[in-house]
Amino acid sequence: MDAVFLRKALVRGLGLFAAVTLLFALVPSGLGRLSLYNRVFPGRARFPYGENPAQSYNLSIFDLDAMFASHVINAEPKPADEYRVVLVGDSALWGWLLRPQETLPGQLDAAGLTACDGRTVRVYNLGYPTISLTKDLLILDQAMRYQPDLVIWLVTLESFPADKQLTPPLVANNAARVDDLIARYSLPLDPASPDLVRPTFWERTLVGQRRPLADLLWLQLYGVLWSATGVDQFYPASYDRAQTDFDTDVSFHGMQPPMLDESSLAFPVLEAGLRAVGGTPVILVNEPILVSSGKNSDLRYNFYSPRWAYDQYRQMLADKAAAGGWNYLDLWDLVPAGEFTNIPFHMTAKGESLLAARLQAAIQQQTCP
Amino acid sequence: MTLTIILVSMAAALLAGWLARGRSRPLVLLAFSALAVYAFQPALPVRHLDFWLPTVTLALVAASWALTAAPEQRSWRANWPAAAILAGIVLLLGLTRFLPFDAFLTASRPPQTFQIVLAILLAAALTGAALWLSRRSAKWLAAAIGLILALFLVLKVPELSYWTSFFFHKLNQQYSGAASAADLRWLGFSYIAFRLIHTIRDRQSGRLPAVTLAEYAAYVIFFPSLTAGPIDRIERFLGDLRRPFALSAEDLTEAGKRLLVGLFKKFVIADALALVALNGTNALQVRTAGWTWILLYAYAFQIFFDFSGYTDIAIGLGRLLGFKLPENFNAPYRKPNLTQFWNNWHMTLTQWFRAYFFNPVTRLLRSTKKPLPIPVVIFVTQIITMALIGLWHGVTANFVLWGLWHGLGLFVHNRWSERTKARFAVLPPRWQTVLNAGGALLTFHFVALGWVFFAMPDLSTSWHVFLKLFGFA
């Protein structure tokens, strides 16, 4: 082997590498749809999300196709004898600090409900641990491909502020899909927002996409440990309980009492979600929050929610639900304070069971019109 | 080693290979390797220890050379350039503390200059004393081995490591409550110790070739094999070192191939398997026997690809410098029995133990007035050799058990082979193939089960994993 041969081989190798790298930016890859989950490994009971992959055997990715491909909902086409219920919401629904079977969807699914027409009720957890209605809409929009018979959408005041809509990484890294939602539903969101990540040509090349591609690969590998252990998040031996004593600050996302500015809340996104489901019934749930009795609890229900803002939000939501004829459940104070864990929305398994009992009845009622 | 360090090492190897031609070759390699001793050393919580440990490495190398050097190689004229390079590098790296950024080549900012000068003087005095003592009595060679083994114990016995770290914390007026057994990560010391003992033992037996300080130090701290071997033999190394070298297209191709294969094995296969390999945490979470086996297989292949990947990288880097370092792995998991497995797994380590422990002890046991029966000799030597190999990885009950597991396995195979080899030798080739395939499968699983001791933090977790593997937990 001489030097000329080596030089030629090197030049051709580099040329081929450059061509593949650049081509990757030009052709939509669709790699996210390829998944070992539901083929080699069982699908995940909830979306991939993890801040400490080595301990949780899970990691956060922003490719919605890959997220759905790894989810158990993607296991097979919807069977004829299945009444499919999907739940959309935040980390409280996803089940922070809870095993998959302890989450609200896990408990509802285990309840073994049967629809009046004899179909088996199967319940799917499509919660994702960031709080934003736009994030929920993004997931709901894709979830409709899976032909749900019923959508249960859990919301809370903290998912409404307009300034939070585009900041969750899942939203920020799906700018093209958000553009599409803005266009389809005329959403009052700014497509030019600096929160939205718009990769340059070089960032879309194979080299530029190496991190997301590696994450996709790691997600597949973690399928081994998900299958082997059933673990998909890190459960610390102890954690700090949600704060129950507060200072006297009563501002809410820059707003001051007495009036909550409706235009600063993302009601148009909520309405878009209700339109996105087409004719599929929706149960809209104002999810339980921690109602504190600690210091300054006369000013705030919890760390996130000043009383004045939360009370007005509930009233607005109830009014809109009544006006729009929405199937709305306000379960804000259903769960006692002792059944919340590290933040005012995250519940214990017992707290989830209280919520599950209420929703079982609602589901049963929905299946038997 | 990180990918960045490996890429920098590749560039350094190309540069050193280009510079190290002609008579200056040992000196150039020595300079690069001495710099690497500092550059590869990870940061340590004990203040300045990440500077002092590499410095002690260089001092030990110089003193060992002084103890072992043949009289004709001890002249000041032949060795002052190497001594100047070693001292100069320590001093120059020490002076980098005055640079405006945190650290250059060292893991943290070096200690004060007067301390470094004092250390150089102490190392010089130690080397001088070693030169003087080596003329007086050969007993000092045994004492040097004792010192190396003592250092080894300090690093490998968790309690000793802890108390040493505790002492250093106190000495440095650091908070001693933060001391931990993991504080004494002396990069490459295990392999350096093997090379030092090899040269000292060969000096004792009169087999050590005559070497200059530059050649000796370049051998012991040769940077491609500093962190993960292979453990070369000095006479073979000298053959390459003294041979004129100019990088050829063939060298470059072979080096590139080994480097690419090594990087792929380590950073793609091994690192991917590491995500799912059996460990102390997932061993307690895994739900079924089948999955426990899969995690164990992942561990078995992860440890192989990790280690053999590093060996490929070392061999590739060596080739860029004109050295054909010895192979360390030769498809060990495809071998039909445990003896062949150990002849093909970490080969340079097993050859070292065979040369410096197994063979001498076997000879000793068989040359007594009342020689022990051969099976007893084989049992004793194999068990002790493998227990020592286990202890080399760390002085814990799990590593000892891992060694005993293999020692027992080797003994059983030896006896089985003695009884059956005549019968199997006459079997038709097709049957031989079937037997070999069955043997490989059995051997792989024996080795994989042994990895349980290796991967688990303690005996109770190891036992728990065994129960799970066989469906009892």
pLDDT tens readout for residues A164-189: 999 999 999 999 999 999 999 999 99
Distance between CA B334 and CA B344 in Å, rounded?
A: 10
- Mutate which of A227, A232, A233 to test chain B, going by most B C-beta atoms within 10 A? A227
User: What total number of domains does chain B contain?
Assistant: 2
Nearest residue to B28 (alpha-carbon basis) of B223, B199, B229, B194: B223
The stretch B71-83 carries a mean pLDDT of 89
Q: What is the mean pLDDT of chain B?
A: 93
Please count the CA atoms within 13 angstroms of the CA of B274 that sit on its side-chain side: 14
Confidence grade of residue B338 (pLDDT, cut at 50, 70, 90) = very high
DSSP, residue by residue, B320-378: HTT--PPP--S-GGG-SSHHHHHHHSSHHHHHHHIIIIIHHHHHHHHSSSSPPPHHHHH
B156 within a domain of the structure (yes/no)? yes
pLDDT class of B451 with cuts at 50, 70, 90: very high
Q: Which of B177, B210, B241 is the C-terminal boundary of a domain? A: B241
Q: Which of B48, B169, B198, B393 is catalytic?
A: B393
Find the chain B residues whose C-beta atoms sit closer than 8 A to any C-beta of A.
249-250, 252-253, 272, 275-276, 281-282, 285-288, 291-292, 294-295, 298
Tell me what pLDDT residue B291 has. Answer: 96
Nearest CA to CA, how far is B272 from chain A (Å)?
Answer: 7
Please name the member of A1, A2, A228 whose beta carbon is closest to the beta carbon of B295: A228
Residue keyed to tokens 């919301």 = A155
A6: chain B residues, CB-CB within 8 Å: 249, 252-253
Q: What is the ipTM of this complex?
A: 0.85
For residue B231, the Cα-to-chain-centroid distance in whole angstroms is 7
Dump pLDDT digits (tens) for B180-204: 988 999 999 999 999 999 999 999 9
pLDDT tens, position by position, B2-27: 888 899 999 999 999 888 877 889 99
Rounded to 10 degrees, what is the CA torsion of A243, A249, A252, A253?
-100
Pick A229's closest partner by Cβ from B249, B287, B298. B287
pLDDT of residue B21: 79
The yes-or-no verdict on residue B257 having pLDDT over 70 is yes
Per-residue pLDDT at A1:
59
Q: Kindly report which listed range (A134-148, A353-367, B95-109) carries the lowest average pLDDT score.
A: B95-109
C-beta atoms of A55 and B281 within 8 A: yes
Q: Which residues of A touch B250 (CB under 8 A)?
A: 1
Cβ-Cβ contacts under 8 Å for A311 (sequence gap 6 or more): none
A225 contacts B281? CB cut-off 8 A: no
DSSP annotation of B146 reads H
CA distance B125 to chain A (A): 49
Q: Which residues of A, range 171-230, sit inside 8 Å of B by Cβ?
A: 217-218, 221-222, 224-225, 227-230
Say if residue B81 is preceded by a cis peptide, omega within 30 of 0.
no
Question: Where a domain ends, among B241, B269, B304?
Answer: B241
Is the pLDDT confidence value at B73 over 90?
Answer: no
pLDDT for the residue numbered B391: 93
Within a domain: B298:
no
Of B206, B226, B241, which residue is a domain's last? B241
B238 pLDDT above the threshold of 90? yes
Q: Is A200 left (phi over 0), alpha (psi -120 to 50) or beta?
A: beta
Give residue A131's pLDDT. 94
Task: Say what the pLDDT of residue B100 is.
Answer: 82
The answer as to whether B115 is a domain residue is yes
pLDDT attached to residue A5: 82
Whole-Å CA distances, A236 to A97, A239, A337, B281, B422: 8, 7, 21, 13, 60
Query: pLDDT tier at A369 (50, 70, 90 boundaries)?
Result: low
Cβ of residue A2 closer than 8 Å to a chain B Cβ = yes
Rounded to 5 degrees, what angle do the CA atoms A294, A295, A298 make? 85
Average pLDDT of the segment spanning B122-133: 93
List the domain range (segments joined by +) for residue B362.
332-469
B337 with B237, same domain: the answer is: no
The pTM is what?
0.90
Residue B89 covered by a domain: yes
Percent of chain B with pLDDT over 70: 100
Q: Which domains does chain A have, with CATH numbers?
A: 3-367 (3.40.50.1110)
Instruction: Report the pLDDT value the prediction gives residue B77, as an integer from 0 to 100.
Output: 87
Predicted local confidence at residue B76, as pLDDT: 87
* Contacting residues of A for B272, CB less than 8 Å apart: 217, 221
Q: Are residues B89 and B215 in the same domain?
A: yes
What pLDDT does A27 receive? 82
* Range B119-135 average pLDDT: 92
Report whether pLDDT(A26) > 90: no
- Residue B369's pLDDT band (boundaries 50, 70, 90)? confident
pLDDT (tens digit, 9 = 90+) per residue, A1-14?
A: 577 888 888 899 99
B393 is an active site residue = yes
What is the rounded average pLDDT of the residues A142-154?
Answer: 96
Q: Are residues B225 and B346 in the same domain?
A: no
Query: Is pLDDT above 80 for B1?
Result: no
Can you give the pLDDT at residue B429? Answer: 87
Q: Which helix (H) or strand (E) holds B255?
A: helix B249-263
CB contact under 8 A, B285 and A231: yes
Q: Does A237 touch chain B (CB under 8 A)?
A: no
Q: Between chain A and chain B, how many beta carbons pairs sit less than 8 Å apart?
A: 47
Residue A114 pLDDT level (bands cut at 50, 70, 90): very high
Kindly report the nearest CA distance between residue B380 and chain A, in angstroms: 41
Return d(Cα B433, Cα B439) in angstroms, integer: 10
Is residue B12 a part of any domain in this protein?
no
Q: Residue range A75-89: average pLDDT?
A: 96
Predicted confidence at residue B23, as pLDDT, reads 82
**Contact in structure between B300 and B450 (CB atoms under 8 Å):** no
Q: Which residues of A touch B247 (CB under 8 A)?
A: none
- Is residue B28 a part of any domain in this protein? yes
- If you average pLDDT over residues B273-298, what whole number do you get? 96
- The answer to whether position B76 is within a domain reads yes
Report the distance separating Cα B358 and Cα B344, nearest Å. Answer: 17
Residues of A in contact with B282 (CB under 8 A): 57, 225, 228-229
Same domain, B87 and B218: yes
Range in A41-45, A364-368, B326-330 the model is least confident about: A364-368
The answer to whether position B287 is within a domain reads no
Say if residue B161 is in the same domain as residue B32. yes
Answer yes or no: are the C-beta atoms of B338 and B441 closer than 8 Å.
no
Helices vs strands, H then E, count in chain B = 21, 0
